[in-house]
Amino acid sequence: MGARIKDALINLIPIKKIRQKVRFEHGTFPYNSISKSVHIGMAKNLKLGKYIFIGDNGRLCCEGGLEIGSYTRIGLGVLIVTSNHNYKSDKFIPFDEYDYKQKVVIGKNCWLGARVTVCPGVRIEEGAIVATGSVVTKSVPRCAIVGGNPAKIIGFRDIDIYNKLEKEGKSATFNDVKDRKWIEVNAHKDYLKFGD
């Protein structure tokens, strides 16, 4: 059965919680790990690659369209918004009945840390990393590392290593990283220095 037909049949289920459960377990999201606590608004506008992970309590507002590339990891509590209110209205304040649809595209091999917010119209290019708690208001270049509110470029991945691994097809699936190994790091960042 084709993905569109399957999705159309799932959309006929009248109870939202049951509809989402069926979609996650039997629907159009194969090969992906999406927490059951993730809320997806207008799922018909969501396009997913393979081997995507989306952590607990995420909210994907897909009114304007959302694409997420293969092997991307999205941490817990991430908010992705794809539309905005018309606050420039001359009829009502703070906004009127119109919303602007603004598609969000997240490339393959990206990593969005916990509690990231992605604003409407943003494009996060392949291999980018978004630091925990960041608010992404502008598009992010390939292999960039961004952080803050608003998110700014704070570095880049080693592009030669990234290109080599990508060429060799070494994007990690869930089976590749399921057995976590921990490395002890005994370092602290000094933000404040006293007595200098």
pLDDT digits (tens, 9 = 90+) for 137-189: 999 999 999 999 999 999 999 999 999 999 998 888 767 776 777 788 776 66
Which pLDDT score, from 0 to 100, does residue 154 have?
A: 96
Query: Which member of 26, 39, 85, 188 is catalytic?
Result: 85
Question: What proportion of the chain, given as a percentage, has pLDDT over 90?
Answer: 57
Coil vs helix vs strand at 108: coil
| Structure confidence at residue 122 as a pLDDT band (50, 70, 90) | very high
Tokens (6 digits) for 40:
């997806």
Alpha carbon distance 80, 130 (integer Å): 13
Of the pLDDT bands very low, low, confident and very high (cuts 50, 70, 90), residue 113 is very high
Residue limits of CATH 2.160.10.10 in the chain: 32-177
32-177 adopts what CATH topology? Answer: UDP N-Acetylglucosamine Acyltransferase; domain 1 (2.160.10)
Nearest to 150 by CA among 101, 120, 124, 117: 117
**Higher-confidence residue: 193 or 78?**
78
pLDDT in tens, 97-107: 888 999 999 99
39 is catalytic: no
Judging by DSSP bridges, how do beta strands 59-61 and 39-41 pair with one another?
Answer: parallel
Does the global pTM surpass 0.85?
Answer: no
pLDDT at 24 over 90: no
What does the alpha-carbon distance between residue 10 and residue 5 come to, in Å, rounded to a whole number? Answer: 9
Is residue 187 exposed (0-12), middle (13-18) or buried (19+ Cβ within 10 Å)?
exposed
